[in-house]
A and B are shown apart, each in its own frame.
Chain A
């Protein structure tokens, strides 16, 4: 599929963002997205499906999201597709958490 992920040779992406002494994860949510994806693609769906799912992100979103935001998109898509967690459950839980604060 020729989508926004097919970046080889694309112009206009600017300088390489080099960060000295970079941590493995930049926040707790990045680490959690990685771990939840890893745990589910070991047990519920293959890693290739995760990659394919992230490539289904709309081009505008793909190009304006960070690496782990794309992983999060793929995770949500696959959890829903495999009937593990529905989008409605996620939204309901977010509302619940917000109301607790």
Chain B
């Protein structure tokens, strides 16, 4: 196989089109099934699912305990288990510990709970650096972790995926579960951001 370096996009697109036409012609894939897969990952599965899990854990302490003890089981209670998220470990951020998730070998990620990973998660720089200089990596995301806070890095693998339970921001005591979920971002559940408090409008 020739080098892929700087292969023009149009060549790749043509190659993919050729493979698709062969797979369809041979009846190996159904075009409608391909469209459904793309639609699922573009529009249905995404961080809003993980955000529901986080908000529930913030509101219900018993659920939170179950989630931290056996993430797989607690997530399946909610019916949110899915492909590529069969075995889950949930790690909690506190004032003393900040957790960060990576997959150094591949880009393993809980698809059913966060959707497909962003480019930075799949990048060679994140995969190589998160395990040796996590604080510098977090700085690039604008997140400064104080020296006294321990940083724990979790390296995912083919069979086990992680999710960060971020800290609940101050000033959210009266928010509903749905309003809380709306605050939770993808990066906060990977550990490259904190959940920000809601923006309070001055004109009430």
A and B together in one complex: yes
How does the 8 Å CB contact mask read for B1-24 relative to A, with 1 for contact and 0 for none? 101111101001111111111110
A16 near B140 (CB under 8 angstroms)?
A: yes
Considering the chains assembled together, what is the distance between the CA atoms of A58 and B105 in angstroms? 15
CB distance from B53 to the nearest CB of A (A): 20
Q: Give the chain B neighbours of A48 by CB distance below 8 A.
A: 158
Q: Which residue of A lies closest to B41 (CB)?
A: A24
Q: Give the chain A neighbours of B18 by CB distance below 8 A.
A: 90, 93-94, 96-97
Return the contact of B21 from the options A6, A47, A93 (Cβ within 8 A): A93
A93 near B22 (CB under 8 angstroms)?
A: yes
| Interface residue tally on B, bucketed by range | 35 or more
Which A residues from 1 to 39 make CB contacts under 8 A with B? 5-11, 13-19, 22, 24-29, 31-36, 38-39
Does B99 reach chain A (CB closer than 8 Å)? no
Return the contact of A15 from the options B17, B19, B140 (Cβ within 8 A): B140
Return the contact of B37 from the options A9, A16, A38 (Cβ within 8 A): A38
Q: Give the chain B neighbours of A38 by CB distance below 8 A.
A: 37
Q: Give the chain A neighbours of B155 by CB distance below 8 A.
A: 8
Q: Give the chain B neighbours of A54 by CB distance below 8 A.
A: 106
A69 near B4 (CB under 8 angstroms)?
A: yes
Which B residues from 70 to 118 make CB contacts under 8 A with A? 84, 102, 104-107, 115-116, 118
Considering the chains assembled together, what is the distance between the CA atoms of A32 and B158 in angstroms? 23
A9 near B132 (CB under 8 angstroms)?
A: yes
Q: B residues touching A (Cβ–Cβ < 8 Å)?
A: 1, 3-7, 9, 12-23, 26, 28-30, 33-35, 37-38, 41-42, 84, 102, 104-107, 115-116, 118-120, 122-129, 131-132, 137, 140-141, 155, 158
